Amino acid sequence: MKIAMLGLGKMGGNMTRRLLRSGIQVVGFDFSQDTVNQIASVNGMIPSTSVEDAVAKLDGESPKIVWLMLPSGDPTENQIKDLVPLLNKGDIIVDGGNSNYKHSQRRGAWLAEQGIGFMDCGTSGGIWGLENGYCLMTGATPEVAKVLEPVMKALAHEDHGWAHVGPVGSGHFTKMIHNGIEYGMMQAMAEGLDLLKGKEEFNLDLAQITELWRHGSVVRSWLLDLTAESLKVDQTLENIAPYVADSGEGRWTVVEAVEQGVAAPVLTVALQARFRSQDSKGYSYKLLSLMRNAFGGHAVKTK
Amino acid sequence: MKIAMLGLGKMGGNMTRRLLRSGIQVVGFDFSQDTVNQIASVNGMIPSTSVEDAVAKLDGESPKIVWLMLPSGDPTENQIKDLVPLLNKGDIIVDGGNSNYKHSQRRGAWLAEQGIGFMDCGTSGGIWGLENGYCLMTGATPEVAKVLEPVMKALAHEDHGWAHVGPVGSGHFTKMIHNGIEYGMMQAMAEGLDLLKGKEEFNLDLAQITELWRHGSVVRSWLLDLTAESLKVDQTLENIAPYVADSGEGRWTVVEAVEQGVAAPVLTVALQARFRSQDSKGYSYKLLSLMRNAFGGHAVKTK
Amino acid sequence: MKIAMLGLGKMGGNMTRRLLRSGIQVVGFDFSQDTVNQIASVNGMIPSTSVEDAVAKLDGESPKIVWLMLPSGDPTENQIKDLVPLLNKGDIIVDGGNSNYKHSQRRGAWLAEQGIGFMDCGTSGGIWGLENGYCLMTGATPEVAKVLEPVMKALAHEDHGWAHVGPVGSGHFTKMIHNGIEYGMMQAMAEGLDLLKGKEEFNLDLAQITELWRHGSVVRSWLLDLTAESLKVDQTLENIAPYVADSGEGRWTVVEAVEQGVAAPVLTVALQARFRSQDSKGYSYKLLSLMRNAFGGHAVKTK
Amino acid sequence: MKIAMLGLGKMGGNMTRRLLRSGIQVVGFDFSQDTVNQIASVNGMIPSTSVEDAVAKLDGESPKIVWLMLPSGDPTENQIKDLVPLLNKGDIIVDGGNSNYKHSQRRGAWLAEQGIGFMDCGTSGGIWGLENGYCLMTGATPEVAKVLEPVMKALAHEDHGWAHVGPVGSGHFTKMIHNGIEYGMMQAMAEGLDLLKGKEEFNLDLAQITELWRHGSVVRSWLLDLTAESLKVDQTLENIAPYVADSGEGRWTVVEAVEQGVAAPVLTVALQARFRSQDSKGYSYKLLSLMRNAFGGHAVKTK
């Protein structure tokens, strides 16, 4: 079996390596030819010099499978449009990136009109996926899902880490919710550890406690495992800026909750905590300070 | 009628002035003799040099009424204890400060054992109370409330700004909830204005809009009036630090909600927004950043 | 001056009456001819039997002004499309309903291409607007805004209740944020009153307290005025179902906050409280109950 | 080694069994003599007929160790007081229940005055602890902790599930925070699954997805394991009432956050979601419905 992988970054590169280990051939392309050459020489990937070249090197495969691991939004959108003229009816595009599920639904419908199959594949597992295997949530027709099965088995955690969850769009939808939950769990843990640290009279050792919780507690989890390992190295966090990035899925989950009319307070405030961390101006705080001064004469702290 | 006022700060001083305007005599005491002398000479208050002196100057009044406008906690607690030996059965202590209602209940019960009457009086109106009159929420027995009526009428906004809401403790309880609501309203307004400001393409004039909303909108309110006036002066808020203090009532309201087992999400997150503004370290954000790095290899922003 | 009003419901009908009182002629249309006839006979509106008829009856006005007070979404969208062939270059459509500001931006741009002027007018004031005057937040070009000035003055609260806040879209944007704040203020008040009620030992009279707060307190506001008046009639609320509807603006405000990347926790949890009230199934609660049983053996409450 | 266990319920009974398996003798007491007799006959526990009897049966042990697994609050408080006259200087009481850490601090200090050692032991692991071993967070002096080591090793998950985290009080404090995090994680998961279910067009199988996430995803955790197993049996949850109980630790965590002045929004709204589920009256919703009617004439849904 031979597929093309477009995008060989942190995720796409490792997935390529894992496929190659399982005996699946991969034609790889990336805008960085250094990356292409490196994975080709070290891991045995078939290099390509352009998307056209990559597709051409799938000749003989039927159907041709092109897997995208690109930034969501325009890069994925444009790549899909550019691919269509290069493919034949019955070929398949897999979007393994973090696209909005509504875009995947739209793209899947449009590709179906062109006779091209589509799978949206939510991919979890981070940088650990290469060794551990990934968790893959896929949306597609049963026919397309069937074709991809050997690829899924190669990528997944112990052959259980993949599933065909529903029609096109449902893979990215499921991944979006997964990430929403991830935000909530992370925030729960961060708040709890912050309170442990804040209780100065007990002078608690957060590395000890997180390690302890890994053994038999109700909160044991992979995020806890990683947190415990990191805190063993340093728990002052002196050199880390109090800034947390967020990505599409966390935001889309909150918008989804609004659209469904469903209360999802934890997922929401977890996202908003990140927004707070990104807000260096604090205009809303200034307004509150202004109001307190206006009605109560309370002193305003000046800069 | 003549009462003693202990504590002549921002609130106690203005309340004294308002009482004097209504023809009620006030014996005033404050640790700052300058303050005492100033209000005495400008406004006609009877000065005193100590608490003992203030009480002595109520001789002939029956019952003697001693009104406390002191910081909550120890200052109020200690003053009440120190007053008891100076008073006779039937005399009355009014706590007009921001005490926790549970403390007022305990103090009222203890004073009742000593034969001393007690009223807890939640006082709203801020620095505008001198001219506008205050809003007074009082807890006491009907007998004590009756005695205080002339004082209430003098202090209150147009004779409607006072009420005997229930037994001892209920005055401070009602004021606590009032402040909880105040936190929520302020935060609602601050968030909305922050979003107006954040929509840069519209380049909105927040002074214009808050002034507009004062006329016929659903959100018209006194807090909006004050906010609009302040924003006319400056809406950049460049010189204000993004720091918002909080006081006891906001915290106690959230604890009360927990004790009642009642969801009060707006009152809670409004308080927590202030906590955020006070947190210069951001340890929880650093933890989140650490976790993102640990599972996904996402870059950590360093200081 | 003569304008057309399409949609004579709770808002459109009262606005028509207020315009007529000020000497502005109104040609009115509604799908209910009974409504048309009633306002025509009682208030002197010029009746019309169709949109075409209404526009025709503006002949001689230059520009023609057609004001829409229709449900947002498709009804407004379709009406605007249908109007264009009936209008001439330079005529003006005003959308006074609760449209999403992004739709107003799109519609305004499209109408500009057809040579038709557009104003988006956020209208606050509810059923009280007829007597009190409305609060009108308008987005338009300066030219269009100038033309509408006499209409605004007639509708507005004491000639201060209207403003031209910015370009097309900014009127509905400002109204959207206004409603977001309204949600937060309402929720703050509801939570506080719920806690007052929940303190059974004090047996507080919510009608008394809300009336009291109207006089000199920090939380005094129009919403408090209305709440106090309602609670005087009944504070058991026995016959009211615990169900709160929500409308577009509350939801759009939260989505806007996500898109801006701004934390707006109060506006968000206020919206989510309404979602909770609408959720009769409680699937998330059932899941929690299931989990507690699974890890701790805690009994599940059965239906 | 021989210790006494007072309280043989779901937790105390299983801990007794696990100790016996490790060769530690246990003298057990419970108000239910049936329970005492059953564990004695099946598992080889030494039965006792009263607390006095249980302590007497420790004669010869030095120090005597009495482990309490009782409901927090009065039952634990009273038992500790009643035990003191039965013990000698140097004997040790362990509170393995869910006491408030402030009570543990107070009790530890008081017992120290009587010459009795004290350990507060937060115990996690639920009904699975018997087989898996428990996670034990202990607060005590180093001397007391040393004495308890063999007991901890017997109870803990693979000898890693216990730690001496700090002085008296810190064990229950750490357990309290653990439970706060647990609330947040559970709520995050419940919200996410609720949104999966709410997306009806995808008709997702929650049992499939939760099982999938156990393999390689970022949210993999013990709570997810249990949830997945439960959902395999039934995902309609038709027979479960939408009611979630809460216990002391969740509430105390929120109060702790208020006292520290630390924002813990996820832990807080997770608790409040449970409060909502317990609120069958919905008075705050009724108030909102009343307000909407008052300002906007919006229909009130009646019961």
d(CA C299, CA A163): 33
Structure tokens at C120: 């988006």
Query: Counting every residue, how long is chain C?
Result: 303
Q: What percent of chain B lies above the pLDDT cut of 90?
A: 94
A169-199 pLDDT, tens per residue?
999 999 999 999 999 999 999 999 999 999 9
Q: What percent of chain A lies above the pLDDT cut of 90?
A: 93
- ipTM reported for the complex, 2 dp: 0.96
What number is the average pLDDT over the span A66-73?
Answer: 96
B56-86 pLDDT, tens per residue?
999 999 999 999 999 999 999 999 999 999 9
Nearest to D244 among C285, C295, C303 (CB): C285
- Residue D106's pLDDT is what? 98
Which of the other chains make 3 or more beta carbon contacts under 8 angstroms with chain B? A, C, D
Asked if B273 and A287 come within 8 Å (Cβ–Cβ), the reply is no
Asked if pLDDT for residue C186 goes beyond 80, the answer is yes
CATH number, span D2-167: 3.40.50.720
Asked if B193 and A287 come within 8 Å (Cβ–Cβ), the reply is yes
Q: How far is D57 from chain A (nearest CA, A)?
A: 32
Q: How far is D169 from chain B (nearest CA, A)?
A: 21
C-alpha gyration radius of chain D:
23
- Residue C130's pLDDT is what? 94
What number is the average pLDDT over the span A59-72?
Answer: 96
In a structure prediction context, what are the per-residue pLDDT tens digits for chain D, which is 303 residues long?
999 999 999 999 999 999 999 999 999 999 999 999 999 999 999 999 999 999 999 999 999 999 999 999 999 999 999 999 999 999 999 999 999 999 999 999 999 999 999 999 999 988 899 999 999 999 999 999 999 999 999 999 988 999 999 999 999 999 999 999 999 999 999 999 999 999 999 999 999 999 999 999 999 999 999 999 999 999 999 999 999 999 899 999 999 999 999 999 999 999 999 999 999 899 999 999 999 999 888 889 987
d(CA C159, CA C166): 19
Q: How far is C288 from chain D (nearest CA, A)?
A: 6
- Residue D205's pLDDT is what? 98
Asked if pLDDT for residue C303 goes beyond 80, the answer is no
Nearest-CA residue of chain C relative to B170? Answer: C202
Asked if residue A7 lies in contact with residue A26, where contact means CB atoms within 8 angstroms, the answer is no
For residue C75, count CB atoms less than 10 angstroms from its CB and return exposed for 0-12, middle for 13-18, buried for 19 or more. Answer: middle
Asked if residue B134 lies in contact with residue B156, where contact means CB atoms within 8 angstroms, the answer is yes
Which residues of C carry out catalysis? 175, 182
> What is the Cα D185 distance to its own chain's centre?
16
**Adjacency order of strands within the sheet including C162-166:** C46-47, C25-29, C2-6, C65-68, C92-95, C117-124, C135-139, C162-166
Which residues of B carry out catalysis? 175, 182
Nearest to A289 among B240, B292, B301 (CB): B240
What number is the average pLDDT over the span B131-148?
Answer: 97
Q: How far is C211 from chain D (nearest CA, A)?
A: 15
d(CA A270, CA D18): 39
Amino acid at C212: L
Q: Contacts for D150-153 with beta carbons within 8 Å, 24 or more apart?
A: D150/D1, D150/D24, D151/D1, D151/D3, D151/D19, D151/D24, D151/D65, D151/D67, D153/D22
Structure tokens at C28: 């009115």
B181-192 pLDDT, tens per residue?
999 999 999 999
Asked if pLDDT for residue A70 goes beyond 80, the answer is yes
Which residues of D carry out catalysis? 175, 182
- Residue B288's pLDDT is what? 95
- Residue D297's pLDDT is what? 85
What number is the average pLDDT over the span C81-95?
Answer: 98
- Residue A159's pLDDT is what? 86
d(CA D21, CA D39): 12
What number is the average pLDDT over the span C206-221?
Answer: 97
Asked if pLDDT for residue B13 goes beyond 80, the answer is yes
Alpha-helical runs (H) found in chain B: 10-21, 33-43, 51-56, 74-83, 101-113, 129-132, 142-155, 170-198, 206-213, 222-233, 248-260, 265-278, 283-296
Asked if pLDDT for residue C121 goes beyond 90, the answer is yes
- Residue C44's pLDDT is what? 97
- Residue D101's nearest CA partner among C160, A204, C240 is A204
Helix, strand, coil percentages in chain D from 3-state DSSP, rounded to 5: 55, 15, 30
Fold observed for domain D176-296: N-(1-d-carboxylethyl)-l-norvaline Dehydrogenase; domain 2 (1.10.1040)
Helix (H) or strand (E) holding D202: none
| CB-based burial, D228-260: b 16+ in 10 Å, e otherwise | bebbeeebebeebebbbebeebbbbbbbbbbeb
- Residue A129's pLDDT is what? 92
Helix (H) or strand (E) holding C164: strand C162-166
The residue among D222, D286, D302, D303 with the most chain C CBs within 10 A of its CB, best to mutate, is D286
- Residue C31's pLDDT is what? 96
A146-166 pLDDT, tens per residue?
999 999 999 999 889 999 999
- Residue D191's pLDDT is what? 97
Asked if C283 and D10 come within 8 Å (Cβ–Cβ), the reply is no
What is the pLDDT confidence band of residue A127, given thresholds at 50, 70 and 90?
confident
What number is the average pLDDT over the span C8-25?
Answer: 96
The residue among A217, A220, A285 with the most chain D CBs within 10 A of its CB, best to mutate, is A217
- Residue D170's pLDDT is what? 98
d(CA A98, CA C70): 39
Asked if residue A117 lies in contact with residue A66, where contact means CB atoms within 8 angstroms, the answer is no
- Residue D70's pLDDT is what? 97
What number is the average pLDDT over the span C287-299?
Answer: 91
- Residue B94's nearest CA partner among B33, B179, B177, B19 is B19
Asked if pLDDT for residue A303 goes beyond 80, the answer is no
B258-298 pLDDT, tens per residue?
999 999 999 999 999 999 999 989 999 999 999 999 988 88
Spell out the domain ranges in chain B: 2-167, 176-296
> What is the Cα A214 distance to its own chain's centre?
25
- Residue D127's pLDDT is what? 85
- Residue B159's pLDDT is what? 86
Q: What percent of chain C lies above the pLDDT cut of 90?
A: 93
What is the pLDDT confidence band of residue C201, given thresholds at 50, 70 and 90?
very high
C124-142 pLDDT, tens per residue?
988 899 999 999 999 999 9
Q: What percent of chain B lies above the pLDDT cut of 70?
A: 100
